[in-house]
Amino acid sequence: MTETARKIADNFHRVMERVEKSANDAGRDPRCVKVIGVTKYVEPALAEMLFHAGCHRLGESRPQILLEKVSALEDLNAEWHFIGHLQRNKVKKVLPHVSLIHSLDSLRLAESVNRLAIEQEMPSDVLLEVNISGDDAKHGFLPQEIQADLNAIEKLSHVRVTGLMGMAGLKSDAKEIRRQFSQLRELRDSLQPTDWQKAPLTELSMGMSGDFEMAIAEGATMVRIGSVLFDGVL
Ligand SMILES: *Cc1c(COP(=O)(O)O)cnc(C)c1O
């Protein structure tokens, strides 16, 4: 094992320990929290080291980079997650390679995903991204509008809404971040799908390198972690 591979493995194991501790502290089963290793900062070779350290779910935020990594690492059998803003004209390329889109942020995008999913005869799992911080720069549904959008998306035959995703505000302090995560959980709990099969709403994707412990305390089932996994190797 190279120095770099060892460093990445150490980082991953340390993150897993922190995930376990925060879940236990919150009285939750640590196995209910999935770590998505965000590889957008690194070359495929480093993403491969992360995979071999035991992180089998990998996340990318740009279609082109996702496709490059998927093709460079096709032997790995990694589970790919798409976490960034997705343009409708990129859906066709991205869809066949990902097991979950975390960042579905409009009804029109949902319709594109549905169309392609029908074409590829492969229903798609998505999370609805919610703008929990109120930052103008952030994509996502507004909390007060999401119930109506959910009802419309549920009518699409090949899209399944498995939960919500949110990102804390860039300028928010710890207390405010925690409040945003707690609001996302409450929003998820308050949503009423007409059909729970089409929208099971079991997942909450929230928390990144700087705030994943708070997110787990507030009920995150998926944390998207990038920079701390590559500490000391970038
Ligand atoms: C980059 C990114 C992450 C990971 O961020 P880190 O702070 O490096 O852990 C998580 N989620 C999304 C949507 C991202 O774009």
pLDDT value of residue 86: 98
Q: How far apart are CA 100 and CA 80, in angstroms?
A: 7
For residue 99, being part of any structural domain is answered with yes
> Is any ligand 1 atom within 6 A of the Cβ of residue 11?
no
Is the beta carbon of 140 within 6 A of some atom in ligand 1?
no
Residue 207's identity, in one-letter code, is G
The region of weakest confidence among 77-81, 149-153, 169-173 is: 169-173
Q: Is the pLDDT of residue 22 over 90?
A: yes
- Report whether pLDDT(137) > 80: no
62 lines ligand 1 (CB under 6 A): no
> How many domains is the chain built from?
1
Confidence at 6, pLDDT banded by 50, 70, 90: very high
Give the model confidence (pLDDT) of 54-98 as tens digits: 999 999 999 999 999 999 999 999 999 999 999 999 999 999 999
Give the model's confidence band at 134: pLDDT under 50 very low, under 70 low, under 90 confident, else very high: confident
The residue contributing the CA closest to ligand 1 atom 12 is 83
User: Which of the four pLDDT bands, split at 50, 70 and 90, describes residue 184?
Assistant: very high
Has residue 167 been placed in a domain?
A: yes
Percent of the chain topping pLDDT 70? 100
Q: How far is CA 55 from CA 75, 135, 193, 226, in A?
A: 15, 31, 32, 12
Question: Average per-residue pLDDT in the chain?
Answer: 97
Residue 138 has pLDDT above 90, yes or no: no
Question: Cα-flanking dihedrals φ and ψ of residue 88, to 5°?
Answer: -65, -30
d(Cα 72, Cα 70) in Å, to the nearest integer? Answer: 6
pLDDT score, position 1: 79
Judge if the beta carbon of residue 58 lies within 6 A of ligand 1: no
Distance from C-alpha of 234 to C-alpha of 222, rounded to nearest angstrom: 24
Q: Which residue has the tokens 């709403």?
A: 201
The enclosing domain of 38 has a CATH number of: 3.20.20.10
Q: How far apart are CA 213 and CA 25, in angstroms?
A: 10
In a domain, 62, yes or no: yes
Q: Confirm if 4 and 233 have CB atoms less than 8 A apart.
A: yes
81 lines ligand 1 (CB under 6 A): no
pLDDT score at 135: 81
Residue 234 is assigned to a structural domain of this protein: no
Is 206 inside a domain boundary? yes
C-alpha span between 210 and 197 (Å, rounded):
34
Mean pLDDT of 168-172: 91
Q: Is residue 45 part of a domain?
A: yes
Domain region containing 58: 3-229
Residue 231: the pLDDT is 97
- Residue by residue, DSSP assigns 128-179 as EEE--S--TT--SB-TTTHHHHHHHHHTSTTEEEEEEEE---TT--HHHHHH
137 located within any domain: yes
Average pLDDT over residues 144-162: 97
Report pLDDT for 224: 98
Tokens coding 84: 């960034």
Helices (H), the chain: 3-25, 44-52, 63-72, 91-94, 107-119, 146-154, 174-190, 212-217
Q: What was the pLDDT predicted at 94?
A: 98
- Is the Cβ atom of 224 under 6 angstroms away from ligand 1? yes
* pLDDT per residue as tens digits for the range 41-58: 999 999 999 999 999 999
CB 15 within 8 A of CB 203: no
The pLDDT-based confidence of 179 (bands split at 50, 70, 90) is: very high
Q: Which two tokens stand for residue 96?
A: 């066949």
CA gap 149, 138 in Å, rounded: 18
Question: Which residue's alpha carbon is nearest to atom 10 within ligand 1?
Answer: 224
12-16, 50-54, 134-138, 206-210: least confidently modelled range: 134-138
Question: Residue length, the chain?
Answer: 234
Q: Tell me the pTM.
A: 0.97
**Position 145 in a domain:** yes
